[in-house]
Amino acid sequence: MRVSLKTWFLSIVLSLLLASPALAQKFDWQQAKGTQLRVLLNKHPWQGAIEPHLKEFETLTGIKLVAEVYPEDQFRAKVLVELTSGASSIDVFMSMPAQEGLKYVRAGWLQPVDEFLKNPALTAPDYNWSDFLEKTREAMVIEGKIVGLPIQVENTSLMYRKDVFQKYNVKVPTTLDELEAAAKALNGKAMTDDGQPGYGIVARGKRAAATSQFAAYLHAMGSTWLAPNREPIFNNEDGIKALELYGRLLRLYGPPGSENNHWYEASSIFSQGKAAMYTDANSLFPVIEDAQKSKVVGKVGYALFPRGPKGQYGSTVAAWGLAMPKTSQNQKAAWLFMQWATAKEQVLAVQSEKGVLGARESVWKDPKGMAKVPADLRESLTVGSKVGTPLWNPPVVAVAECRDAIGAAIVVAIQGGEVRAAANKAATDVRRIMLETEKK
C-alpha cells in the first residue's frame, strides 16, 4: 500500500512538533563526553560526603573524574604551587575565594564563570543561582566577577555540651563576658564518659589556623582587620581586648599546648568529651556527630557566637566553593562538574546523608535536608549567615603570610606574654607585607 504524500508530510510535521519541546527541555549533560577532569579536593567533610556520588557524575556526563585529595595545609600549598607555575593541569579545585581569591584573581589565575552561568546551553535550566544564600553568593564574587560556586556554608559558632551545662546549671553564654564566666565555672569539672574532669573551653591556637576563628572574637569586640583606608587596625583597643580574651580563655580554661592545636586536635579534644565548649566553624558538625569516632554524639548544642560588650555580632560567614583555573584545557567539562556538584540534588544528598551544611535555601527548607540537622544549628546558621561578617581573614593578597603574622600575636596571648606589643608588631608586619605584595 502506498502512503500518500500528504500522510508522510503530516506525520513528519507531527513528529517534529512532538519531539522539539522534549529536545528543548533536555539539557545536554553529555556535551563534554569523553573528557578527563583533574579535580583537587581538600580533605574536608564535604569531600567525604560527595566522594561516593562521583560515579553518578561520570555516568551522567561520560566525563572521567580523577580526584586528588590532600589534607588542608598541603592542599593549599599544592594548589598554590601549581597555579604559580602557570602550567597547571588542574581543572577544578576546592577554593575559599574569601581567603585566596584576591591573590588568585590579581595574579590572573581564576576563570570567571559569569558567562558560563548566563549561557543556557552550558547551564542546566533548573540550576537556580539565586537559590544560594546571599552571603555565600557574595563570597564567591571577587572584584566584580563570580569566580566560584558555593558548596557549603559555615559560621564560627559556639558549640557546647548541653549535658554538662545542665548538670552544673550554667547558662549558655550569649555574650563574651558570659562566655568567660562559663569557661571558668566549668573548667575542671567532670565531663567525660568515665567522669574525668575536662576543660572549660577549647579552640584553635596554631598560629595561622587560629586567625580565622579569632576573627569572631575580634569582630564581636567591635574591631576588624583593616580600616576603610586598608590600614591594619586590629591592634586598636578593642582588638587588643579581643586578643587578651582569646589568650586568657585558652591559657586559664583550655588544654595545655593550645598553641599547637589546629582544628584536627581541637575537635578531637571536644569530641572525646574533654571540653565543655568549642568555638570553631560549625561545618565541623559532621565530625562532632560522627557516631564512629565521637563520644559526644547528640549531646552538643550549636549556638550563635556570643555578642560583644557593645552588642556586636562576632559570627563570621564563610563558604567553600569550587573554582576553575584559567589554564584549564577542559573548561566546558569543568563547568559541568562544578554545577553538578552544587546542584540542588547533590546539595540535598550531602546534607541529608552526612550533615554537610549546604548553601542552598531550598535545601534548608526541605525536610529531608534538615533531617540530620538539629534545630538549634539550623537557627544559629541562618541567623549567623545573615549577620555574619565575611571577613574571617584579613582581606589581603598575601593571606598566608599575614595569617602567620597575626597568628604569632595570638600565640603570645595564649602564652601570657605582652599582648599589646605583639599586636602592634603584627600590625607593622601586616602593613609591610601588604606594601610589598600589593603594588597594583
List residues near another protein by CB under 8 A: 43, 68, 70-74, 77-78, 80-82, 84-87, 89, 107-108, 206-207, 255-257, 259-260, 264-265, 267-268, 271-272, 293, 398, 400-401, 404, 408, 411-412, 415, 425, 437
Angstrom distance (rounded) from CA 65 to CA 322: 15
- Bridge partners (DSSP) listed for residue 316: 389
Angstrom distance (rounded) from CA 350 to CA 62: 22
Supply the minimum distance, in Å, between the C-beta of residue 257 and another protein. 3
Angstrom distance (rounded) from CA 410 to CA 137: 31
Which residue is it, cell 557593645?
310
Nearer to another protein, 144 or 256 (CB): 256
Nearer to another protein, 80 or 370 (CB): 80
Residues 35 and 330: beta-carbon distance below 8 Å = yes
Supply the minimum distance, in Å, between the C-beta of residue 387 and another protein. 31
Q: What is the 3-state secondary structure (H, E, C) of 120-139?
A: CCCCCCCCCHHHECHHHHHH
Angstrom distance (rounded) from CA 101 to CA 358: 20
Residue 165's alpha-carbon distances to 143, 168, 251, 287, in angstroms, are: 45, 5, 21, 21
Supply the minimum distance, in Å, between the C-beta of residue 213 and another protein. 17
How far from chain centre, in Å, is Cα 217?
18
Angstrom distance (rounded) from CA 300 to CA 3: 75
Supply the minimum distance, in Å, between the C-beta of residue 240 and another protein. 18
Nearer to another protein, 175 or 268 (CB): 268
Angstrom distance (rounded) from CA 38 to CA 65: 6
Nearer to another protein, 206 or 360 (CB): 206
Nearer to another protein, 105 or 341 (CB): 105
Spatial CA neighbour of 277 closest among 385, 170, 381: 170
- Amino acid making up residue 158: L
Nearer to another protein, 381 or 426 (CB): 426
Cβ atoms within 10 A of the Cβ of 116, count?
Answer: 21
Supply the minimum distance, in Å, between the C-beta of residue 348 and another protein. 26
Nearer to another protein, 107 or 233 (CB): 107
Nearer to another protein, 206 or 219 (CB): 206
Supply the minimum distance, in Å, between the C-beta of residue 232 and another protein. 17
Sequence-ordered strand ranges (E) for 26-96: 36-42, 64-70, 92-95
Which residue is it, cell 581586648?
241
Spatial CA neighbour of 373 closest among 215, 154, 201: 154
Q: How far apart are the first and last CA of the chain?
A: 80
Supply the minimum distance, in Å, between the C-beta of residue 38 and another protein. 9
Nearer to another protein, 174 or 415 (CB): 415
Residues near 383 by beta carbon (within 8 Å), at least 6 away in sequence: 304, 315
Nearer to another protein, 344 or 420 (CB): 420
Supply the minimum distance, in Å, between the C-beta of residue 416 and another protein. 11
Name the strand (E) or helix (H) holding 281: strand 275-281
Supply the minimum distance, in Å, between the C-beta of residue 196 and another protein. 10
Supply the minimum distance, in Å, between the C-beta of residue 165 and another protein. 24
Nearer to another protein, 263 or 313 (CB): 263
Angstrom distance (rounded) from CA 260 to CA 130: 40
Residue 267's alpha-carbon distances to 24, 159, 197, 281, 403, in angstroms, are: 49, 10, 17, 10, 21
- Bridge partners (DSSP) listed for residue 69: 41
Supply the minimum distance, in Å, between the C-beta of residue 399 and another protein. 10
